[in-house]
Structure 1
Amino acid sequence: IELQRHKLKEQEQVNEVLLKWAKKYNVPVIASNDSHYVDKDDANAHDILLCINTGEKQSTPGFDDFVNDELQIKNRRFKFPNDQFYFKTTHEMSDLFADIPEAIDNTNAIVDKVEVLNLKKDILLPAFPIPKEFQTSDDSNLNQWNYLHYLTYEGAKERYGEIGEEVRERLDFELFTIKTMGFAGYFLIVSDFIKAGRNLGVFVGPGRGSAAGSAVAYCIGITNIDPIKYNLLFERFLNPDRKSMPDIDTDFDDEGRQRVIDYVVKKYGQNQVAQIITYGTMAAKMSIKDVARVLDLPLSESNALAKLVPDKPGTDLGRVLNAPLTVKDGEKSLEEKEGLGPDDLENVRLLRSIYASDTDPRSQVLKEAERLEGSVRNTGIHAAGIIIAPKDLTELIPVATAKDSDLWVTQIEGSVIEEAGVIKMDFLGLKTLSIIKTALELIRQNHGNAIAIDDIPLDDAKTYELYQRGETNATFQFESVGMQKYLRELKPDVFADLIAMNALYRPGPLAYIPNFIARKHGREKIEYDLPEMEEHLADT
């Protein structure tokens, strides 16, 4: 029989009855605590978080006494009766149950019986059905690899015609790596739903990310990019020295994406497919605004307070309020680590003066916001991630329902979901693919010309002229104003120029774009640290 003590009169009355029952029926008693926050000092922050979640203000009276949960009382809010619902220490629990020491002893006895579980599991792939002629072994992984080997070489005949030594050597190396790592089933699953998507009339992207470096993926139709032609490295995609699941992001037109998911659900079963949950946490500015609303701070003051927080991605309110300001003040200063300039630092000083005040109501807002920053505020659904399991998901991971999804939703987020033993696939819906699909259909209807997008040559002079003028609106990854500016300066005239620009236009290498442009046009000398590097770096 479980006993709890949170300094509640009603609970003590219940405990008296429970102790009588325990004695009467000779049932051991155990002690536990209803823990909703870590420290006693977190009680007020927890109450504010409840108000945020329920849309209430802290000034609204709460249910101070136990009431029927079904009873709706106007102008009252849900709150905890006191500050005893924290994670108590062993010493505190022993003191709390000093008159019933056996309750603590029995709890410890249960703890001693708990097995240490390793929650991290190996990935379990769903069983992919293969033709009988390839089911020659008791080892399903080997059977799948044999089938993949067959599909790869059949596809290679279509892709390359005559299979030369270079292609054969590359395919054999990749297939050996896939066999060694046990990922044949993964390739078959991805290839299958991509093929199904194409058969359903869904536009599928040519491939992106490191998966484009796989010749096997190219041969079985996962990607449409020849990695041998473009000297792409397979090791960036799969490396025996780095045992992790391959990651193939698949783009579908955003109108057809759901049809592919429906196919997967039909093939593997509704109970074996789920979307992935996302947890939205309270960032610095949002935590200030949420707490300010709960504490009834006027909206204008709330907005002004939040604006004092620097507009830097990933800004940590705790650091803003406590870290050294400048390099002179100490290591890892806001000036050095976050790169804050004079204006931001002045705002931080003002924030800290408010924070230090004993009378300013905004000080309480900042203190509670600091404590609540990073707390989970809401849940959502991952835009692309889909889980495909080998059996009923409820036997593997916790799942939930969501109002905006017909599928189950995992309760484990995407960054760690594979550690729970299930595989994550990314089904990305791209509006750009829908635009291309519509454009091709309009050309067919209006001009009677059926164009296959994959057959368009990559050396069309008029297309490069568009890029040279920066006329790339709605061109995926080339449509931003900054990219268009650099395209006008670069004047790309070969496909390798576009590859380089796509790789360079991201944080970090972005700073080297002017050098790249200057070197292309001969205004800057090209130098190699080692002569041997020229063979590998000449294109870029």
Structure 2
Amino acid sequence: MYLNCKTFFSYRYGTFSTEQLVAAGTDAGASSLAITNINNTADAWDFVQYCHSAGIHPVLGTEIRNGDHFCYLLLAKNNTGFLHINRFLTEHLQAKKPFPARPVMDDSVWVVYALGMAAPAQLSLNELIGVQPTEVNKLFGIDLSAYSTKFVVRQPVTFQDRTFYSVHRLLRAIDKNIVLSKQEDKHKAAIHEYFMPMTTIMEQFKQYPQIVTNTLRVMECCEIQMDFKVDKNKQAFTASKEDDRILLEKLAMDGLHYRYGSRNKQAHERMLKELKIINDLQFNAYFLIAWDVLRYARDRRFFYVGRGSGANSIVAYCLQITDVDPIQLDLYFERFLNPYRTSPPDFDIDFSWKDRDEIIDYILKRYGKDHVALLGMHTTFQRRAIVRELGKVYGLPKAEIDRLSRGEYNTNDNNHRQIIRFGDLIKDFPNHVSIHPGGMLISELPIAQYTALEMPPKGFPTTQIDMFVAENVGLFKLDILSQRGLGHIKDTIELVREHHQVDLDIHQVEKFKKDPKVAAQIRSADTIGCFYIESPSMRGVLRKLRCDDYLTLVAASSIIRPGVGSSGMMQQYIWRFHNPEKFEYLHPVMKELLEETYGVMVYQEDVIKVAHYFGGLDMGEADILRRAMSGKYRGNKEMKRLEQQFFRNCEERGHPEKVAREVWRQIESFGGYSFSKAHSASFAVESYQSLYLKTYYPVEFMVAVINNFGGFYSRELYFQQLKKAGADVQAPCVNNSEYLTDLKEGKVFVGFIHVQHLEQQFVEKLLAERVRNGAYLHLQDFIERTEVGIEQLNLLIKVGAFRFTGRTKKQLLWEGNFLQVHMEDHVPERQALFAEEPVSFELPMLPDNDREDMMKEMEMMGFPIGNVFELVDDDLGRYPLAKELPGLLGKEVLVLGYLVCTKETMTREKRELMHFGTFLDAAGDWLDTVHFPEAARKWPFQGRGFYRLKGRVIEEFGVYSVMVGEMEKVGLKPVG
């Protein structure tokens, strides 16, 4: 009877989770259920599994709607029908066109219209009319005898009960962006759309037993088959699996010679071992597809970094999928592949954000749009967003909503109580489909066999199913990611080629690792702009470890992650790194497994080793543990089972309970934040590439960082670093600047893109005219040639873009406004028969003010060209600099800093808010501060600007900072 059931994947409409729907159907006595979410099939396969577990016959379909208008149900009779439904949805969703009033479907799909929407005499064999129990009275007067097989029971199921009917109404109001009082009946479901008891339905249709029989027949004839967990990716790269094996072996052996030469026995033996396992597990095609994509990337001179567990593989290294040598790093082979593993190893391949779309387009064209799609994911309602949305639905003013979002509730206020109550119920509901950060599916059968596809703003087909459903079905993703760090590298190389005529080979990473200048750069943590190692926290770790080699950098890349950091093991690692003889291992087995990392679990591989060799879990169980740590495993039931098994095994092995519990605590603390060692090693390779460029070409490197608009810090900080590298930074100029920041004749000209409110279309016109007819001669020439409007002209004048004229900004503003008004009938110089002198002016002296100019630059670009410390209203000479702090250890100091960024965290025991501050001092050096809870409460940060900080100088592993007791913001000097 229940052939029209919805879950919360009917976004902002249904209120059941998929599991709850099946459980409620079981309680209602259903033997068969149909899932028909609105215009999507996102949780169809989860639904099938839940139904099988509950002993219920599953039917897959969808409810088609144009906005609020119900069109019809589509129910799949078999897998072919589900394919047609998904293709039908895909066609209309991607084109964003309305669904037709009557779809064209073959006999593999049932089409069910609402009562009154279609005449029985006009229906095809696969078309039906659904009658709700509340509509039975409308059947009086209809002659059913001639069309008795055309009617079925359609009891919609949208929510659980009256409470969730209220949730449904709130979701509909959120979707419509209206207050609840403005909601109309057409916006929401009817109040009876719940699991009406079977006995009630039968009672309603007791005069029409044929309709009940028809319904049962329709449901029973629908049969969906699915072999879960069986690989459904593209099965062969070449003509056959055997050809794949031969090709992969040839490519791998060629690569082995390239990477290791012809006499490395260890590498050769490992290669043969890996190739056998890859073939046995039938992953040859997966490796070849990755190789093919990267071969194309190299041909296009695209830079990339291969990461993920695949970097544990010598085959991946020899195919140039990664640049990580697994033998050099002793990477754990079972982390790569083991006989227990059913899913392929991950290849996370990073491309420049400028190149990624072309790579995706290549994969779509190479393997066919019917077989390739980006992987979807579902954004969910979370606490703060729910509060804001419900606040609007209840008609609360913005100020009150702001207070609620900060957790400031008034429990005596009925609206506040309702927001708390319903917010708890809505939390974690899917909100809409979005795009997985990089996952792509390449399937053997058409993708529509498993899911419908949408077309988000990115412009590539995207699945409605997420990663968990895809993997459960047997579709495993290839991660094609975008990263601005690679854009830095690519653009730096091009700038070096252009300005130094040097063609750099950025893949000479082994050379970079041995370069003493690069080592010194890491040791001093002069890493601003370098991928992954530029944040204040990371720079602090590098300085505390006195890091100057590759292996230490690999470890640093992992211990900075929240999993290691939050467990307290980061501090332990650093202490043990400096005191290797002063600590004891938790257990002799831990020493054997973790001697390289001083007894600290730093990598995912460490956890797998400990779980297997210390905790007795088999490799299959250890792999589940690994997936849970990396956020790739859904649900915690299996984790609870593994935890119990871990402790049973430890007891059987005689491990002390206290030791076992501490080991498990460290395993748990990794959460979803741990890295595989190969992942960290891949990051460290890219860090070395960035470091080499920054060390030898600092100006070009920082220009590239600025032009890729990515990094931890603001544009202001990167321009400050550019100046510190010795660059002569110039304000935008109409005769020298480009749209992006550029090098010209030894100077760096700020790009027009940084001038707020300056229109890109006008800048393109300005630049095109300059290319066609040469440099601008004077202000009048510029106005005539570009036909600039007064607002855009004033922006350029105020930012100093006409300083080549020799006139002050005030004079130029007066002149520009005069010319705009009085030159309407003037013939432009380039159109006149005879050269004309520009209009001349006798202007009074209107001098510029340097501080006023800097303030205007900050207003218009977000940063000044000059030294920002010239603006502070204070005597810089009275404050010690950051470089003087070592000599003031333990003493109270008063320092002045320009705020760069802050980091909030919670104290471990009392969970109180505290801050870490990062400032610049007057010399342009870093000044780090610590603000414990009392100081954080008493002296809060007040946005960007200068701060006077009073506190005690402290030190940790050679890194000095100020523990702040008092802080006040310092104003700017008055202009004049």
For the aligned residue pairs, the C-alpha RMSD in angstroms reads: 2.5
SS in 2 for 1:56: coil
Report if aligned partners of 1:217, 1:223 keep a CA contact under 8 Å in 2. yes
Report if aligned partners of 1:214, 1:233 keep a CA contact under 8 Å in 2. no
SS in 1 for 2:466: coil
- How far apart, in 1, do the equivalents of 2:589 and 2:179 lie? 68
Q: Which residue of 1 aligns with 2:132?
A: 5
Give the alignment partner of residue 15 of structure 1, picking from 131, 139, 151.
139
SS in 1 for 2:247: helix
Matched, 1:417 2:525: no
TM-score normalised by the chain length of structure 2 = 0.45
Q: Deviations over 1:422-442 (max 9, x none)?
A: 332110111000101111121
Matched, 1:390 2:444: yes
Q: Which moved more, 1:415-424 or 1:491-500?
A: 415-424
Matched, 1:520 2:577: yes
Matched, 1:96 2:153: no
- How far apart, in 1, do the equivalents of 2:254 and 2:369 lie? 32
Q: Which residue of 2 aligns with 1:264?
A: 363
- How far apart, in 1, do the equivalents of 2:396 and 2:530 lie? 46
- How far apart, in 2, do the equivalents of 1:512 and 1:496 lie? 18
Q: Alpha carbons of 1:98 and 1:474: their partners in 2 closer, same or farther (altered >3 Å)?
A: farther
Q: Deviations over 1:498-522 (max 9, x none)?
A: 1111121112322223332233333
- How far apart, in 1, do the equivalents of 2:189 and 2:522 lie? 66
How many pairs were matched up? Answer: 466
Mapping of residues 327-406 of structure 1, within 5 Å: 354=411, 360-394=414-448, 396-406=449-459
Give the alignment partner of residue 247 of structure 2, picking from 124, 143, 147.
147
Q: Which residue of 1 aligns with 2:191?
A: 83
Give the alignment partner of residue 432 of structure 1, picking from 485, 494, 497.
485
- How far apart, in 2, do the equivalents of 1:16 and 1:504 lie? 74
Query: Shift of residue 111 of structure 1?
Result: 3.6
SS in 1 for 2:316: helix
Q: Deviations over 1:400-447 (max 9, x none)?
A: 332414332211112221333433211011100010111112112222
Give the alignment partner of residue 491 of structure 1, picking from 546, 551, 558.
546
SS in 2 for 1:192: helix
Q: AA paired with 2:262?
A: E
Q: Deviations over 1:325-365 (max 9, x none)?
A: xxxxxxxxxxxxxxxxxxxxxx7xxx5x72xx5x6222122
Q: Which residue of 2 aligns with 1:501?
A: 556
SS in 2 for 1:407: coil
Query: Which structure features the higher share of strand residues?
Result: 2
Query: Shift of residue 239 of structure 1?
Result: 1.4
Report if aligned partners of 2:349, 2:481 keep a CA contact under 8 Å in 1. yes
Mapping of residues 98-247 of structure 1, within 5 Å: 98-115=206-223, 117-118=225-226, 120=228, 122-126=230-234, 128-130=236-238, 140-205=240-305, 207-247=306-346
Q: AA paired with 1:464?
A: A
Q: Alpha carbons of 1:245 and 1:39: their partners in 2 closer, same or farther (altered >3 Å)?
A: farther
Report if aligned partners of 2:293, 2:363 keep a CA contact under 8 Å in 1. yes
SS in 2 for 1:449: coil
- How far apart, in 2, do the equivalents of 1:304 and 1:485 lie? 36
Structure 1 portions without partners, runs of 5+ = 65-77, 309-346
Which of these two proteins has the greater Rg computed from alpha carbons? 2
Q: AA paired with 2:494?
A: E
- How far apart, in 2, do the equivalents of 1:154 and 1:61 lie? 68
Q: Alpha carbons of 1:45 and 1:24: their partners in 2 closer, same or farther (altered >3 Å)?
A: same
Q: Alpha carbons of 1:91 and 1:12: their partners in 2 closer, same or farther (altered >3 Å)?
A: closer
Q: Which residue of 2 aligns with 1:72?
A: none
Query: Shift of residue 537 of structure 1?
Result: 3.6
- How far apart, in 2, do the equivalents of 1:443 and 1:398 lie? 47
Query: Shift of residue 3 of structure 1?
Result: 4.2
% of aligned pairs identical?
A: 28
Q: Which residue of 2 aligns with 1:311?
A: none
SS in 2 for 1:398: coil
- How far apart, in 2, do the equivalents of 1:219 and 1:261 lie? 24
Matched, 1:53 2:175: yes
Q: Deviations over 1:479-507 (max 9, x none)?
A: 22111112112111321111111121112
SS in 2 for 1:508: helix
Q: AA paired with 1:82?
A: A
SS in 1 for 2:468: coil
TM-score normalised by the chain length of structure 1 = 0.80
Query: Shift of residue 299 of structure 1?
Result: 2.3
Q: Deviations over 1:126-174 (max 9, x none)?
A: 25554xxxx7xxxx32321121111111110111111422112111111
Q: Which residue of 2 aligns with 1:334?
A: none
Q: AA paired with 2:251?
A: L
Q: Alpha carbons of 1:383 and 1:531: their partners in 2 closer, same or farther (altered >3 Å)?
A: closer
Q: Which residue of 2 aligns with 1:450?
A: 503
Structure 2 portions without partners, runs of 5+ = 1-127, 598-976
Q: Alpha carbons of 1:513 and 1:373: their partners in 2 closer, same or farther (altered >3 Å)?
A: closer
Q: Deviations over 1:442-483 (max 9, x none)?
A: 112222222111114212222222222222222222122111
Q: Which residue of 1 aligns with 2:726?
A: none
Structure with the larger RCO, 1 or 2 (CA within 8 Å, 6+ apart): 1
Q: Which residue of 1 aligns with 2:964?
A: none
- How far apart, in 2, do the equivalents of 1:167 and 1:382 lie? 36
Q: Alpha carbons of 1:81 and 1:218: their partners in 2 closer, same or farther (altered >3 Å)?
A: closer
Q: Which moved more, 1:43-52 or 1:107-116?
A: 107-116
SS in 1 for 2:226: coil
Q: AA paired with 1:199?
A: D
Report if aligned partners of 2:232, 2:445 keep a CA contact under 8 Å in 1. no
Q: Alpha carbons of 1:100 and 1:194: their partners in 2 closer, same or farther (altered >3 Å)?
A: same
Q: Deviations over 1:254-312 (max 9, x none)?
A: 1111121122122112222211222111112221221121121222222222322xxxx
